[in-house]
Amino acid sequence: MYDVLIIGCGVVGAAVAREFSKYNISLAVLEAQNDVAMGQTKANSAIIHAGYDPETGTKMAKLNVFGNELTAKLCKKLNVSFKRIGSLVVAFDEYDQMHVNNLFSRGSANGIKDLEIWSREKCLKEEPALSNKVKCALYAPSAGIINPWEYALALAQTAVKNGADIYFDSFVTSIKKEQEYFKVSVLNGSSYYAKYIINAAGVHSDEIASMVSDNAVKIVPTKGEYYLLDKSQGTLVNHIIFQCPTEKGKGVLVAPTIHGNLIVGPNAEYTKNKNDTSTSASGLDYVAKMALKSVPDINFKDNIRNFSGVRANTLDEDFIIGESNTVKGFFNLAGIKSPGLTAAAAIAKEIVQICSQSGVVLERKDNFINERKVVSLKSLTADEKNKLISSDPKFGRVICRCETVTEGEIIAALSGVLPAHTVDGVKRRTNAGMGRCQGGFCSSRIVEIISSQLGIDPCEVLQDAQGSVILTKRTKSGDTV
């Protein structure tokens, strides 16, 4: 029996788990996939927003602005890559200029203190790659870029270090309220019992809510497609470049990523299938065309990957946060679309407070572990590199050439708290395979390392989700093997 059971281990579930793990309660997270951050968290713009977009007075506005501040602190504590590079909302005509002015007022009302309106000259001076049609822009210095899956992983790891249990491959099939507790059944046959349930199931949060006859949540799954360009394009812009919304859509962004690439996207297309993260020629054409309006010199020939993510949009603009109206002890964190990544840490604080008011007894631990060490050879000085390599020579063997990731770092990712066990799991933890050759050189080496570290046959090593096998059988091998 758990006190609190969280469904979903994206960035929101992970943040909530970490927040609850500060207290002396028993805590578990159920994740349908085989790793953390497998849904929206791994396929989004990777932006920590300043908070001028949400309507003043909404939960979204409050949690965005507060979340921005919390995320910066957490990333520092937990060693997560995050950089406040600032954002620009760029205006190209009078209509846009009005919008920018409105955002300035709204942002100020939302509590952002350091917003500025930049003139055309200032825009072109600070951001020379911008289209020369720019009229003015809203500058928000607190906006930043983050490694979203590393962030979710760091939050989940902290929760585990502080006693939380995380169960992967645990697709929830039913939730029954039995007197004072819930019984949660999982596709693999296991059942879990808990006094309180937190629904953080992202695009599936409506399905989870309906299991307890709570039909207040209605997700409108919305696909967003992206380009990720080579590092040769990563220095094209210095800020996150947003467009003003038009009647056709919200506009696409162009931004450097925390890894030094350039990200371009997204569009917004309603999709019936929540699991459909495919891209389309028309969607990608639209994204490229829109992006070139703000930054005309993007070289799409340097594209290294396209991806799409499905966002948990709702008809209601605001986040749905709080106890279900139909079932006591069941809490929804639903419709957490953009700026959900930014708000996650604040949402976690909010829900813990709501739970406490609803009767969850929370007593602070005095030994809460709130740190995380990461070894990244790239970031070390020459002396530090040599010290590390002499202690373990595997840190001197580069496996991923494009991102300079060593065997030592990969082995470290395959052990410890919430270790990787797939090729993409290694990628999310170390960046190996994220570069311009997209794993062309290193994937076979990584399969070999996973196979030997985990003691499994290479044919069992997965690319990513369950079923994503890479190798099918041995080649003709004779009797000796």
Partner 1 sequence: MRHYQLAIIGAGPAGLAAAVKAYENGVKKILVIERDKILGGILNQCIHNGFGLHRFKQELTGPEYADRYIKMLNETSAEIQTDTMVLNITKERILSVISPLRGFENIKADAVILAMGCRERTRGAIRIPGSRPSGIFTAGTAQRYINIDGYMVGRRAVILGSGDIGLIMARRMTLEGAKVLACIEVMPYSSGLNRNIVQCLNDFDIPLYLSHTVIDIKGANRLEKVIAAKVDENRRPIKGTEMEFDCDTLLLSIGLIPENELTRACGIQIDFRTNGAYVYENMQTSCEGIFACGNVVHVHDLVDYVSEESEKAGEAAAKYILGDKTLNNKTIEIDAQGAVTYTVPQRMRCENIDKNLKVFFRVNKSIDKAKIIVSDYQKDIASFKKQYVVPGEMQNIILAKNQIENIRGDYITIRAEEIISE
For position 292 contacting partner 1 by CB under 8 A, the verdict is no
Report residue 187: phi and psi, to 5°.
Answer: -55, -35
For position 364 contacting partner 1 by CB under 8 A, the verdict is no
Yes or no: say if 304 and 257 are a contact pair by the CB < 8 Å rule: no
**x-marked contacts with partner 1 along 412-451 as a string, rule CB under 8 A:** ------------------------xxxxxx-xx--xx---
Output the six-digit token pair for 55: 């309507």
Instruction: Pick one of 1, 361, 456, 469: the residue that binds partner 1 (CB under 8 A).
Output: 469
Report residue 307: phi and psi, to 5°.
Answer: -150, 170
Within residues 29-88, the interface with partner 1 by CB under 8 A covers: none
Yes or no: say if 44 and 338 are a contact pair by the CB < 8 Å rule: yes
Yes or no: say if 430 and 410 are a contact pair by the CB < 8 Å rule: yes
Instruction: Pick one of 306, 349, 354, 368: the residue that binds partner 1 (CB under 8 A).
Output: 306
Binding residues with partner 1: total (CB under 8 A): 61
- Decide: helix, strand or coil at residue 86: coil
Question: Shortest distance, CB of residue 403 to partner 1, whole angstroms?
Answer: 11
Residue type at position 49: H
Q: Are strands 303-314 and 219-229 parallel, antiparallel or unpaired?
A: antiparallel
Question: Shortest distance, CB of residue 440 to partner 1, whole angstroms?
Answer: 5
- Decide: helix, strand or coil at residue 466: coil
Nearest to 400 by CA among 391, 390, 413: 413
- Using the minimum distance from each CB to partner 1, give the nearer residue, 83 or 436: 436
Report residue 375: phi and psi, to 5°.
Answer: -100, 120
| Spatial separation of the C-alpha atoms in residues 465 and 425, rounded to whole Å | 9
Instruction: Pick one of 396, 417, 419, 454: the residue that binds partner 1 (CB under 8 A).
Output: 396
Instruction: Pick one of 397, 415, 452, 456: the residue that binds partner 1 (CB under 8 A).
Output: 397
Q: Are strands 181-186 and 136-140 parallel, antiparallel or unpaired?
A: unpaired
**x-marked contacts with partner 1 along 262-281 as a string, rule CB under 8 A:** -------------xxxxxxx
| Spatial separation of the C-alpha atoms in residues 308 and 265, rounded to whole Å | 9
Question: Shortest distance, CB of residue 82 to partner 1, whole angstroms?
Answer: 25
Yes or no: say if 307 and 228 are a contact pair by the CB < 8 Å rule: yes
Residues listed for the chain: 481
HSE toward the beta carbon, residue 61, CA cutoff 13 A: 15
Question: Shortest distance, CB of residue 411 to partner 1, whole angstroms?
Answer: 13
For position 168 contacting partner 1 by CB under 8 A, the verdict is no
Task: Considering the candidates 49, 99, 204, 239, report the single residue annotated as catalytic.
Answer: 49
For position 358 contacting partner 1 by CB under 8 A, the verdict is no
For position 471 contacting partner 1 by CB under 8 A, the verdict is yes
Question: Shortest distance, CB of residue 71 to partner 1, whole angstroms?
Answer: 28
For position 132 contacting partner 1 by CB under 8 A, the verdict is no
Report residue 88: phi and psi, to 5°.
Answer: -125, 130
Yes or no: say if 103 and 280 are a contact pair by the CB < 8 Å rule: no
Q: Is 49 a catalytic residue?
A: yes
For position 117 contacting partner 1 by CB under 8 A, the verdict is no
Instruction: Pick one of 113, 248, 272, 301: the residue that binds partner 1 (CB under 8 A).
Output: 301
Write out the residues near partner 1 by the rule CB under 8 A: 228, 232, 275-281, 283-284, 300-301, 303-307, 377, 382, 385-386, 389-390, 393-398, 401-402, 404, 436-441, 443-444, 447-448, 458-459, 462-477
Catalytic residue list = 49
